Structure 1
Amino acid sequence: MEIESFRALLTDEGQTLLAELREFKPGQELTLATRLRREHPAELVSAALAQAQLRQRARAKFDEDADAMYFTPNGVEQATRRSVGEWRAQRFAALGVKTLADLCCGIGGDAIALARAGIAVLAVDRDPLTCAVAEANAAALGLAELIEVRCEDVTRTDVTGYDAVFTDPARRTSKGRVFDPEAYSPPLSWAVDAARRTPFGALKVAPGIPHDVVPEGAEAEWISDHGEVKEAGLWFGTTPAEPHRATLLPGGHTLTGGRLPDPLAGPVRRYLYEPDGAVIRAHLVAEVAEQVGGTLIDPMIAYLTSDRLVPTPFAHAYEITDVLPFNVKKLRAILRERKVGTVVIKKRGISMTPEDLRRQLKPSGPETVTVILSRKGDGHLMMLGQPVGA
């Protein structure tokens, strides 16, 4: 999208088109475009249709805000989802932050969350179109007084006088994802230095960041939303008692730690606990094991087992009824005998996919069971059971 085409969407005619396209259904694009081009310039119609499609995609991240916001294709894909942005903004606000420089602001997702938390934001990006979109989003959501958008190279931005800096370096290139933190744009080392120029700082990193590249004195936080790990962040100035944090959204459940030794491994007991992905990424399985009085099934597999059912938001619990060596033929016979037609398959440390296994099992019947596959030593186990309450 060219910046001129985007600015045309902000005119009265552009707004009329976007309002008309708010609830269009996929597959209607050709019919709509043909009709609308009789009344409006073809280029404007194309831009409005593209924006309407982006808004529909963005609803998964921004909920109802998406219908009023503006997006670029990269912006939809790379923007922080609303729930995560709100959590980070709440943390900054709780630290007493009143002013913040949002570097590599993109379309303004984080700036919006920060402004809604009462923080005055300088939002900086080097791409003119992205800045125009961020500025339009601030205005569309009534936050223009709290968000100043500046188009410049973030490495030249003076953050003197701000309470905090937040940086979201680009982790993609035209060739795909970047896994080396020093290949981020700007590099991780620069972003860390920027975070330390103000009393508080944070920066977004990939969830798979190696623990050994987390800087000394930083708090590393992994965040999941509805059980799916979304991102990791490094915090500075928070003087954490523990180096690692796992946060589960919604609910804001937070687990800290990172200093306990790995749990021992032992036999499968009555209950199996499957830690949340953020807990695993943060290397906090030992902390959950301590909560539930659990041991590992295998030293290299993040499944815990215990004789006790202990409510915890940091792991899903299952009551185990059967523990057997993994054998597809035997499992199929058990499911047939118990009239099981719905099989929920969990697995770790085994190459077979749940889809492949389900095709081989051919379940049929009214009952439901959870099948958990795991490596144990040199072999593989299959454990049958049911989920129990959180």
Structure 2
Amino acid sequence: MDLDDFRWLLTDDGQRLLAAAEEVAEEDPLRAQTALRRASVGSTPQTPGHVAAAMTQATLRRRAVAKFGDLAPRMYFTPDGLEQATRLPVARHRAARLGAASARTVIDLGCGIGGDLVAFAETGLICAGIDLDPLRVEVAAANLSALGLEGAVQVADATEVSTAPFDVAFADPARRTGRGRTFDVDDWTPPWSFVEGLLRRDSCVKVAPGIPHELVPQGVEAEWVSDHGEVKEAALWSGRLATTARRATVIGSGGLATLTDEDDPGAGVVPVRRFLYEPDGAVIRAGLVTAVAAAVHGGLVDEHIAYVTSDVPAHTPFARGYEILEELPYREKPLRAALRERGVGTLTIKKRGVDVVPDQLRKRLALSGDTEATIVLTRVAGHGTALLVRPF
């Protein structure tokens, strides 16, 4: 999307064209663009670029509802900016942590389309954002304005800006190169060396969930966050913002819950009991599976597998619970016979620690009964095991 076309979209004529685009956004794209080119929206003739910008925004606003909820219809996006933006519940959690730490000002080093700036400003923080991309800066400023929020945004290089005037520095390094997504921290923009320097002051840095524990500097808190069962990111907190070593935060329909390494007394391997627990991905990434085991008065089914077993039917936001109905044969042929004997036709296959592709196995089993069932394929004390379970 061209910068001038986006700026035109913010004019009165541009807003009328955008409103027209949103009315036809679900139609065939070619037909919709033809209708928009013929539409009369004001005194300024619209160009193909204007039409494309309006259609892009209308499409992205619909897609953005998953991340930004009821704010999405008032916001502006770029395709890559939306993809990289933090989900609003996660950004609001991060902003709330800054508020709880009595931070008053924050600078966003690489603000993108301004998703985190929106959350910071909502919390009442005085915020400023910078980005190398002029279009993203324009979009971020438009988002603050559209939502009636305060904040300053400008084009600048994060590595050349002084963060000293701000209570907290926040950074979300770009993890893509011309070759696509990168898992090498030295390929980030800004690079890992910049992040390490930033973590010597009060700061928060958004990183990929797969960040190795050994890469986290001493004294820095690593927090893994999931939103409705999906691990979305990890964040590194430094200075007075760091309150523990490892944290798992789970955001769900019931609100927010958090678990830290201080809640983890450890747990050993025990025989399979009546109930099985599948820890949330954030818990697994944070290395806090044994904290869940301790909380449900249980243990691990295997020292290398992130399943917990217990005699207690506990409800916890940090794991999904199942009642174990029986153990089935693990080998495919007798497993098929056992499932057919029970009339199973619709099968959910969960697996961990075994070389199984659920969709391929389900196809090979060729079940046709009327009963729905869930099986867990995993290792118990080092041996392949199939468990027939029921969620509770």
**TMscore range, shorter length:** over 0.9
Q: Distance in 2 between the 1:254 and 1:158 partners? A: 33
Match of 1:379 among 368, 376, 383: 383
SS of residue in 1 equivalent to 2:321: strand
Instruction: Tell me if 1:185 matches 2:189.
Output: yes
**Is this contact kept in 1: 2:25–2:59, CA < 8 A?**
no
CA contact (8 A) 1:166 1:195 kept: no
Specify which of 71, 75, 91 is matched with residue 69 of structure 1.
Answer: 75
1:169-248 map, 5 Å: 169-197=173-201, 200-238=202-240, 240=242, 242-248=244-250
TM-aligned CA deviation for residue 377 of structure 1: 4.8
2:339 alignment counterpart:
335
- Secondary structure at the aligned position of 2:301 is classed as strand
Please name the residue that 1:160 is paired with.
Answer: 164
C-alpha spacing 1:127/1:96, structure 2 compared with 1 (3 Å): same
1:173 maps to amino acid: T
Deviation at 1:43, TM superposition (A): 2.0
Q: Which residue of 1 aligns with 2:42?
A: none
Question: Please, which of 54, 67, 77 is the counterpart of residue 48 of structure 1?
Answer: 54
Give the aligned partner of residue 127 of structure 1. 133
CA distance in 2, matches of 1:210, 1:23: 46
Structure 2 Cα separation of the partners of residues 96 and 166 of structure 1: 15
Shift of 1:322: 1.2
Tell me the secondary structure at the aligned position of residue 122 of structure 1. strand
In the alignment, which residue of structure 1 is the partner of 2:17?
17
Change (3 A) 1:357 1:366: same
The AA in structure 1 aligned to 2:327 is V
Q: Deviations over 1:83-106 (max 9, x none)?
A: 110110111111111111111110
- Residue 183 of structure 1, CA deviation: 2.2
Q: CA deviation at 1:356?
A: 1.1
Distance 1:41 1:133 in 2: 20
Q: Distance in 1 between matches of 2:108 and 2:244?
A: 26
Q: Which shows bigger deviation, 76-85 or 352-361?
A: 352-361
- Between the aligned partners of 2:237 and 2:32, the Cα distance in structure 1 is 48
The letter for the 2-side match of 1:243 is: A
1:71 to partner: Cα distance? 0.9
Cα RMSD after superposing both structures: 1.8
Deviation, structure 1 residue 323:
1.5
Give the 3 Å change call, closer, same or farther, for CA 23–34 of structure 1 in structure 2: closer
Deviation at 1:7, TM superposition (A): 0.8
In the TM superposition, residue 351 of structure 1 has moved relative to its aligned partner by 1.9
Shift of 1:262: 5.6
Question: Does residue 110 of structure 2 align to residue 108 of structure 1?
Answer: no
Alignment of 1:295-314 (within 5 A): 295-314=299-318
**Aligned amino acid, residue 32 of structure 1:** A
Match of 1:32 in 2: 32
Does the C-alpha gap of structure 1 residues 239 and 98 become closer, same or farther in structure 2, counting only changes over 3 Å? closer
Q: Distance in 2 between matches of 1:115 and 1:289?
A: 39
Q: Distance in 1 between matches of 2:34 and 2:25?
A: 15
Structure 2 residue identity aligned to 1:279: V
CA contact (8 A) 1:205 1:232 kept: yes
Segments ≥4 residues shifted beyond 6 Å? none
Q: Which moved more, 1:115-124 or 1:310-319?
A: 310-319
Q: TM-score, normalised by structure 2?
A: 0.93
Task: Show the counterpart of 1:89.
Answer: 95
| Alpha-carbon spacing, 1:241–1:77, altered in 2? closer, same or farther (3 Å) | closer
Cα offset, 1:64, TM superposition: 1.9
Deviation at 1:236, TM superposition (A): 1.1
Q: Deviations over 1:322-356 (max 9, x none)?
A: 12341222222222222223222110112221111
Distance 1:238 1:227 in 2: 29
Q: Does 1:58 align with 2:64?
A: yes
| Counterpart AA for 2:36 | L
Q: What corresponds to 2:2 in structure 1?
A: 2
Query: What's the CA shift string for 1:173-212, capped at 9, x where partnerless?
Result: 1211121223211122312322434xx3100011000000
What TM-score comes out, normalization by structure 1 length? 0.94
**What 5-or-longer segments of structure 2 have no aligned partner?**
40-45
The answer to whether the 8 Å contact 1:222/1:281 transfers is yes
1:26 deviation in Å? 4.2
SS across alignment from 1:229: strand
Same amino acid, percent of matched pairs: 50
Equivalent-residue separation in structure 1 for 2:200 and 2:47 (angstroms) = 50
What amino acid maps onto 2:205 in structure 1? L
- Deviation of 1:261 (Å): 7.2
**Does the 8 Å CA contact 1:62/1:82 hold for their aligned counterparts?**
yes
- CA–CA separation in structure 2 for the residues paired with 1:247 and 1:231: 10
Q: 1:118 aligns with which of 124, 127, 134?
A: 124
Residues 165 and 195 in structure 1, CA contact (< 8 A), matched pair in contact too:
no
C-alpha change, 1:16 and 1:223, in structure 2 (3 Å) is same
CA, structure 1 residues 23+270, in 2 after alignment: closer, same or farther (shift >3 Å)? farther
> How far does residue 310 in structure 1 lie from its aligned partner after superposition?
2.1
Residue deviations 1:96-129 (CA, integer Å, cap 9, x gap): 1111111111000000001000001011111111
Separation of aligned partners in 2, 1:186 and 1:363? 52
Question: Aligned partner of 1:53: which letter?
Answer: T
2:112 maps to a residue whose letter is G
**Please, which runs of 5 or more residues in structure 1 have no aligned partner?**
none
CA distance in 1, matches of 2:299, 2:199: 38
